[in-house]
Amino acid sequence: MSERTSPISPRSPQIFADADRRSEELFAFEGVDALVQAWRDGLTPDPTLTVAEWADRHRFLSPRASAEPGRYRTDRTPYMRAIMDALSPGNAARRIVFMKAAQVGATEAGNNWIGYVIHHAPGPMLAVQPTVELAKRFSRQRIDPLIAESPVLRERVKPQRSRDAGNTVLSKEFPAGLLVITGANSAVGLRSMPARYLFLDEVDAYPPSADEEGDPVALAEARTRTFSWRSKVFLTSTPTIHGVSRIEREFEASDQRRYFVACPHCDHRQWLRFERLRWEKGQPHTAHYSCEACEGRIEEHHKTALMMSGEWRPTRDNAHSGTVGYHLSGLYSPVGWLSWADIARMWDAAQTSDEAKRSFKNGVLGETWIETGEAPDWQRLYERREPWRIGTVPSGGLFLTAGADIQKDRIEVSIWAWGRRLASWLVDHIVIPGGPDSAEAWAALTVLLGQTWPHAHGVRLSLSKLAIDTGFEAPAVYAWARQQGFAQVIPIKGVEGFNRTAPVTGPSFVDATEGGRKIRRGARLWTIAVATFKAETYRFLRLSKPTDEDAADGAQGPAGLVHLPQGVDAEWVKQLVAEHLVTVTTKRGFQKLEWQKVRERNEALDCRVYARAAVWIAGADRWSDEKWRDLEDQVGPQPADTDDTQSNIEAGRLARPNPPSTKRQSDWLGPRGKWF
């Protein structure tokens, strides 16, 4: 048979027709099969496997993200099992709130939930960090290792290097679902998509508003409305300040569950309180827990058994809210993480300042800090004035800063001296007649920048920094600040709210005017959280200086002690304590802390806050001991003078000699000459 007529010839028209027919039949069959399979998948209920069970079976911890790499074990943190089970689709809870101490495993529970969603219950998921920058860090340090170390997740999320993989830093696509990671400061990120699952991490660090569009938590939760009862929201955070803490507000609206453990001696169940932790004074290694029922001594080695036998119990009847809340302190931290001896040691160390106590209460106990906002008694401050002449710098002062407040008809300036541990002395308060439209007032303020003040050791100090408020007639302030240069003058803008970790941000660049010509980005502006510095000032004003007997024994005053000279008048002291902190309710029903005036005049307090902000910008909060010693050497020690020489110095007729030093003198040390 010839090739032309052979039935098996590749050129046979019949062969092509048969192949086309079979392809069409196969395509039709597979299309129907795929449609049926998709229909079945849609009817398939969510798996009964819980998030905790999934994590124990499939999760592996990376050395990049965990101090204990390897297979994840819920038994290491057994208190997290119920919380992760509540995140499972089969649980009726829609909103899960977790107010907790730092480093107890909350974020890893959220990561387990993300892995579970990718593997077993796909859908749109939104994870929110405090800022976009932190969201990127969270993605690289937590989510990428989560996917890379868990084989079942690697199969579903393509590597970033793949073309059209749908895997970027802030977006992870997987079959039938999408994970978007964003920051609470980005309104665009919060309203970018509907979400069935919402993970809100460290909500107390969120800004008050996302791009001026409203509360970021409310904006994010609005994304879940289309999923109704099928949605899940997980809010977790270490708390901050009572009255403004988001996580505390959410926890108080829940059923407030506590983790109850059984005493190994009497089997009484109780939740752990810091007040029951006992140790001998000065010996934190003796720390143990005392049972509230039998006073039995519970040791650190009992902790593992305590945690394994524990159970969550609601302490408030709130069954119809749809929100379950959990609270956990660092007392429950597993063996090998944070011991009771460590907690006792941290508490002893925190007694040095209110800031340290606040950090302990927030980060270790998982409780809010109650800010004391009542104004100190002005009369007590007035009566404790110290006998040195206003206009001079006492012995402990090492550098000067000033705060300037612009009023319509005057400029008020306070000059403060600062020493070790942020001790401060009021050096002078000056009122310059004329407002921001007065050339003479600006000229007088310029002269003040070059002025020097006599120090008790004989040197003269000039201003290191002057912070000036831009809240009134900002263009005039920017123009003057630009003329003086960036090194000494700091234009500032106050904002509401507390920011303890970064009370000063910037600089940002703003437009300025010089000689009638607009200069784009010609001035630098710093933003300060005035509420933070006002609260600190009030805490410092409540401190008491050592008694004469203590001083004779060499005792130093507490850190931050404020000293006022004999020459300051009662009106200025009243202005220093002219505000108090109150809790107000916003139009949307949220509570916030706000400083409000109790007297009409408060320039002394404002000037103090600005001068303190200048100290922060100068870096004194972070100076090393070597830096402080360097300043002490430049100011000069108290030399052994004769009686005649000493009396002449006190009378202001002689300057102290400069001790030899090879170190560069600080710019704010004026020429060493005689007193005023």
3-class state of residue 517 by DSSP:
strand
Q: Is the pLDDT of residue 553 over 60?
A: no
Residues 215 and 102 in one domain: yes
Same domain, 252 and 285: no
439: Cα separation from own chain's centroid: 42
Render pLDDT for 241-267 as a digit per residue (tens, 0 to 9): 887 789 998 998 899 999 999 999 999
The count of C-alpha atoms lying within 13 angstroms of the C-alpha of 446, restricted to the half-sphere facing its C-beta, is: 14
Q: What is the mean pLDDT of the chain?
A: 83
CA 535 – CA 261 distance, rounded (Å) = 38
Q: In this structure, which amino acid lies at residue 457?
A: H
What are the beta bridge partners of residue 585? 591
pLDDT at position 555 is: 45
What is the percentage of the chain residues whose pLDDT exceeds 70?
83
Q: 553: exposed, middle or buried (C-beta count within 10 Å: 0-12, 13-18, 19+)?
A: exposed
201 shares a domain with 60 = yes
pLDDT > 60? residue 361:
yes
Helix then strand then coil, in percent of the chain rounded to 5, is 35, 25, 40
DSSP at 236? E
The band of 660, judged by pLDDT with boundaries at 50, 70 and 90, is: very low
Of 160-164, 194-198, 379-383, 490-494, which range is least confident? 160-164
Q: What is the pLDDT of residue 674?
A: 29
pLDDT of residue 30: 54
Q: How confident is the model at residue 103 (pLDDT cuts 50, 70, 90)?
A: confident
Tokens of 506: 């910037």
406 pLDDT more than 90? yes
404 forms beta bridges with: 413, 468
pLDDT confidence bin for 232, thresholds 50/70/90 = very high
Looking at the fold, whether 250 and 290 belong to one and the same domain comes out as: no
Q: Mean pLDDT throughout 181-186?
A: 91
Residue 584 is assigned to a structural domain of this protein? yes
What pLDDT score does 76 carry? 92
Q: Is residue 15 part of a domain?
A: no
Of 1-10, 64-73, 579-588, 654-663, where does mean pLDDT reach its minimum?
654-663
pLDDT bin (cut points 50, 70, 90) of residue 130 is very high
Distance CA(534)–CA(353), nearest Å, equals: 16
Q: Where are the alpha helices (DSSP H) in 173-311?
A: 187-190, 216-221, 246-252, 303-308
| DSSP character at residue 282 | T
pTM of the full predicted structure?
0.63
Asked if the structure places residue 29 within a domain, the reply is no
Q: Are residues 562 and 530 in the same domain?
A: yes
Per-residue pLDDT, averaged over 210-229, amounts to: 86
Same-domain status, 72 and 84: yes
Q: Provide the CATH number for the domain around residue 589.
A: 3.30.420.240
- Can you give the pLDDT at residue 465? 95
- Reduced to 3 states (helix: H, G, I; strand: E, B; else coil), residue 546 is coil
> How many CB atoms sit inside 10 A of residue 270's CB?
15
Q: Mark whether 274 and 385 lie in a shared domain.
A: no
pLDDT of residue 378 exceeding 60 = yes
What pLDDT is recorded for position 554? 43
| Rounded-to-integer distance, Cα 95 and Cα 234, Å | 6
Residue owning tokens 């308060």: 429
Whether 24 is covered by a domain: the verdict is no
| Parent domain of 413 | 378-545+557-650
**Do 252 and 270 lie in a common domain?**
no
Question: Which of 308-322, 518-532, 627-641 has the least mean pLDDT?
Answer: 627-641
CATH of the domain at 220: 3.40.50.300
Model confidence at 32, in pLDDT bands (50, 70, 90)? low
The count of domains in the chain is 3
Residue 669 lies in a domain: no
Among the listed residues 603, 402, 393, the one whose alpha carbon sits nearest the alpha carbon of residue 488: 402
Is residue 599 included in any domain, yes or no? yes
Does one domain contain both 535 and 469? yes
pLDDT at 283: 94
Same domain, 568 and 589: yes
The whole-number average pLDDT for the span 105-114 is 93
**Structure confidence at residue 650 (pLDDT):** 36
616 and 606 in a common domain: yes
Q: Is residue 84 part of a domain?
A: yes
The DSSP string of 337-350 is: TS-HHHHHHHHHHG
The single-letter DSSP state of residue 257 is: E
Q: With respect to residue 221, please indicate whether it lies within any of the assigned structural domains.
A: yes
Strands 452-454 and 460-469: antiparallel
Q: Both 403 and 535 in a single domain? A: yes
pLDDT of residue 143: 93
pLDDT of residue 412: 96
Q: How buried is residue 350: exposed, middle or buried, by Cβ count under 10 Å (0-12/13-18/19+)?
A: middle
